[in-house]
Amino acid sequence: MSMPFYVSPEQVMKDKADYARKRISQIRSGVVIACDAGILFVAPNPSRALRKFSEMYDRIAFAAVGRYNEFETLRKAGVRYADMTGFQYDRRDVTARGLADWYAQLLGSLFTDSSKPYEVEIVVAEVGKTADADQIYRIIFDGSVAEEHGFVVMGGQADKVAAVLKERYAPGMSLTEAMRLAIAALAGQGDGNSAEPITSSQLEAALLERSRAHRAFRRLTGARLDALLAESEIARGGGAGIGRTGTGGGDAGAGDGGAGAGGANEQTGGSPNAASNGASGDTGDVPPGEPDSGGDPAGG
């Protein structure tokens, strides 16, 4: 008669954490940076339909890297939670801190109870009236939550990207300076020796704009993104690492993701479902005469 198979709880938790950490390290990083204009979100993403960054509530945004179907499920659940909280109580009761705590509890339960942990890292950010009032929270696959200041890197070679940000980041940077720094940090995660050119067609960018009175989230797309990249390139003296393309940019190929069983590690997140209080749609940044690309189709 064979002996029953036994694995200690400590080993089970360690194996889950190692698995999730390895999968997340195989994707491309995303960067969130506070600047004088608000909070900037930048990540490589050739898709124009599947998004990593989305609006959650009036001045709150959601960012994620990892498996698309998993963080899209989390995004939708977070939008419903925010809408219900604002409807039952007050819109001012919906905060980034409250959402981060809620996500931490949800991911912690999933990590403990499920056989496979979620392969995600998410950021919930809220832009304040002043830079000191900004809130940025990072939540990882096991429910651990941390309050970040200034900037945060999600997924991929986070240490390498964060090292560039730590060296060059300064509070009160302009939007152009923040974009230039984000591009420089992300471009160096290829082979570690030379910067990879990043063009607007390969990039997803969004901004929680401090000066907006109500819904602060807007996407940086088309001509606006091209102009911002061009300004960044001029500011750095035409250095490598930033490429400029046309105003649209079709999909350049499949999404990020490490090889391995279980499918590709990520496409990107969709924008929040429209809700009854009108707080959960994306607000695009579209110059006059260009088609609106702010809204996303319903995601999986």
Question: Tell me: the pLDDT tens digits for 142-169?
Answer: 999 999 999 999 999 899 999 999 999 9
Separation of alpha carbons 94 and 194, rounded Å:
43
Over residues 165-191, mean pLDDT: 87
**What are the b/e assignments for 235-266, b being 16+ CB within 10 Å?**
ebeeeebbbebeeebeeeeebbbbeeeeebbb
Which of the two residues, 75 and 193, has the higher pLDDT score?
Answer: 75
pLDDT at residue 95, rounded to an integer:
96
pLDDT at 260: 39
For residues 272 and 63, is the Cβ–Cβ distance under 8 A?
no
Query: So what's the pLDDT on residue 300?
Result: 34
Which range (4-13, 74-83, 176-185) has the least confidence? 4-13
Q: What is the mean pLDDT of residues 72-98?
A: 96
Sequence-separated contacts (24+) of 290-293 with Cβ below 8 Å: 290/222, 290/223, 290/247, 293/48, 293/219, 293/221, 293/222
Domains of the chain as residue ranges with CATH: 29-248 (3.60.20.10)
The answer to whether 218 and 285 are in contact (CB under 8 A) is: yes
**pLDDT (average), residues 99-127:** 96
Among 63-67, 173-177, 269-273, whose mean pLDDT is lowest? Answer: 269-273
Residue 239's pLDDT is what? 43
**Mean pLDDT within 30-34:** 96
Which tops the pLDDT comparison, 130 or 276? 130
If you average pLDDT over residues 96-109, what whole number do you get?
97
**Mean local confidence (pLDDT), 201-219:** 93
Residue 7 reports pLDDT greater than 90: no
